[in-house]
Chains A and B, each alone.
Chain A
Amino acid sequence: MGNETETPRIAIVGGGPAGMRAAGLLAAAGLRPVLFNEAPEPGGQIYRRPPPPLRTVLSPARLYGPDAVRAMALHSDFEAVADRIDHRSGTLVWNIMKQEHGGFRLLHQDADGGQGAHNCDAVILATGAMDRILPMPGWTLPGVWSMGGAQVMLKGQASLVGRRPVFAGSGPLLYLVAWQYAKEGGRPAAVIDASTFAAKLRAAPMLAARPAVALRGLAMAAALRLRGIPVIEGAHADRIEATDTGMRVHWSSSTSSGQIDGDAVAIGHGLKSEQQLAELLGCRSRHNAESGQWLIETDPEGRTSVAGAYLAGDMAGIRGGHAAEFAGELAAWALLADLKHRDNASRRAVLRRKLSRQDRFRRGLEQAFPFPQHRIASLPDETIVCRCEGISASALRRAITDWQPADVNRLKAMSRCGMGRCQGRLCGQIAAGLLTAQLGRTPGDVGHLRAQAPIKPIPGSQLIVEKGAVE
């Protein structure tokens, strides 16, 4: 790792709680890390701050509810060392590669649109997560938002996506966002929760690893019911349609069915990791049966299979903002120890213990709110799976029958599913699910869509491509 006497050059990608805690520790250790943050402000999605003109409208208490104290501590700790961090906000890291003689090279687009390259000796990746979506007919209609999107409009824009949205899906965000809408003057038309009461009960012992958080979820569901908002458990949103006056969600459960009218819809089944940069580096990943997702392999302190590359936060598996702070600090300690710069073995042990508690809670959440994998096989033919390219479930089924693709990357080549701007972030797991179901393969066999650089569209190059297409 370069000359021992030189200060090691550390880059962190991601400005959420994991990246902020990692940067804070490295700054305190005198390493002046470079923090690349795609957003204009630190905080990530969970502790997102609204643009300055909106700050007076939304107090931290309104923004973060019971997490306000934690959010403010995170922001103020970060500000205390901010002058010792090279914070590149509004900067998208769109490629990362290993250097021939050790270390890494990051390619980035800056806030002003300029392109740059950055070399470093070690990197902590903490790029977070996004919504995990089970598509259904009508999910591409205007007025249908991801669960996280509905929350972002509230936290980042002080706006409700509707006064009477229907909230459908599962996971902790489902009740949290519905509750936030109810508190901010909305009146959710209904909460349609795919998970059954029995599943939640079975998961209770594991959820007890964080009793306060588990109770908070129950309390929010109860408060919604108390306000007369229908909470339908064990039910799935089957179809969304636009009516003359708003949106209609058709739902069904094993015992009944119905429809709910509202003026917007928010859908989501928990979160999935944004791990493209780790994939580009060649970090080893494996299919995780509990979550049904491919996860980058790390040791308990965040080391990946690539020496010098560390992972922290939701990028390494969904454990939430609380755990992300621990993981960010722990990855930074691991990095400092590996560099023989400084070590604190007892602090590392404490953080590992805290994280394993969080892990138990995460497994509880996955049991309480399992992703309805079985519903992929029975998606109606007309369902748009890939919203970028407009590829339906029937087109995918045809491609699978015709080509018998060996894995999901072959299916992408045959069908264009996942070739659009989002690179299969939304459709990849669904395409893989259709493939496993139809050909009787295992998730491990069909694999996952490979990330490609640039991991998000870069406007300059895109303009050239699109102009070329038009002319």
Chain B
Amino acid sequence: MQNPCVTFHRINAGSDRALIALSIDGRAVTGLDGDTLLSVLIMHRGALRRAEAGGDLRAGFCGMGACQDCWITLADGRRVRACSTLAEAGMAIVTNLDHGQ
């Protein structure tokens, strides 16, 4: 699932930030050193999760750890807030985005 309309635009294209390899639902993706998991998910999937109530797509809201809209799961079982967690090499994000409605 890719939500084509929603994405971030980096204002520093061409900067020399290191690439980070991680995965979303088993598929390899790259982020940049300093990206939050929220940024990685928006860039690659345009959303973070489907809401428990109703199944509609959610993509974060406040970006500052207040609204709690961005909780996601990592393959190792950890639950993290995507907007306040920096991407690290090897992280495996598991979403429910493909579960459909």
Contacts and interface: CB of A to CB of B under 8 A. Distances in A.
Does A associate with B in a complex?
Answer: yes
A142 B34 CA distance: 22
Contact of B11 (A142, A154, A156, A421): A154
A401 B54 CA distance: 24
Contact of A143 (B5, B39, B67, B86): B5
Contacts of B36: 156-157
A74 to B, nearest CB: 19
Interface residues of B, number: 45
A162 B9 contact: yes
Contacts of B67: 130, 146, 387, 422, 425-426
Contacts of B77: 463
Contacts of B60: 145, 149
Interface string B54-79: 10111111111111110100000111
Interface stretch (A47-55, A332-340, A366-374, A435-443): A47-55
Contacts of A154: 11
B17 A159 contact: no
Interface string A246-278: 110000000000000001100000000010000
Nearest to A466: B79
Interface residue range, chain A: 35 or more
B92 interface: no
B89 interface: no
A297 interface: no
B66 A422 contact: yes
Given A157-B8, A163-B9, A143 B59 contact: yes
A263 B67 CA distance: 22
B32 A53 contact: yes
A462 B12 CA distance: 37
B32 to A, nearest CB: 7
A161 interface: yes
Contacts of B34: 50-54, 157-158
A149 B66 CA distance: 10
B61 A459 contact: no
A274 B66 contact: yes
Contacts of A162: 9
B7 to A, nearest CB: 8
Contact of A160 (B8, B33, B53, B65): B8
Contacts of B57: 141-142
B101 interface: no
Given A140-B56, A152-B64, A387-B61, A245 B79 contact: no
Contacts, number: 145
A456 interface: yes
A209 interface: no
A185 interface: yes
B18 interface: yes
A186 B10 CA distance: 11
Contacts of A131: 62, 66
Contact of B62 (A148, A160, A163, A421): A148
B33 A53 contact: yes
Nearest to B5: A246
Contacts of A144: 61
A130 B9 CA distance: 24
Contacts of B80: 459
B93 interface: no
A184 interface: yes
Interface in B77-95: 77-80, 83-84, 86
B62 A146 contact: yes
A158 B63 contact: no
B35 to A, nearest CB: 7
Interface in A108-156: 113, 130-131, 140-146, 148-150, 152-154, 156
A421 B5 contact: no
Interface of B: 3, 5-6, 8-12, 15, 17-18, 32-36, 39, 46-47, 51-54, 56-69, 71, 77-80, 83-84, 86
9 contacts: A53-B18, A143-B59, A159-B9, A160-B9, A247-B5, A274-B66, A387-B67, A390-B51, A457-B71
Given A57-B11, A158-B34, A457-B79, 9 more contacts: A54-B34, A143-B5, A149-B61, A150-B63, A152-B83, A154-B11, A156-B36, A422-B67, A425-B66
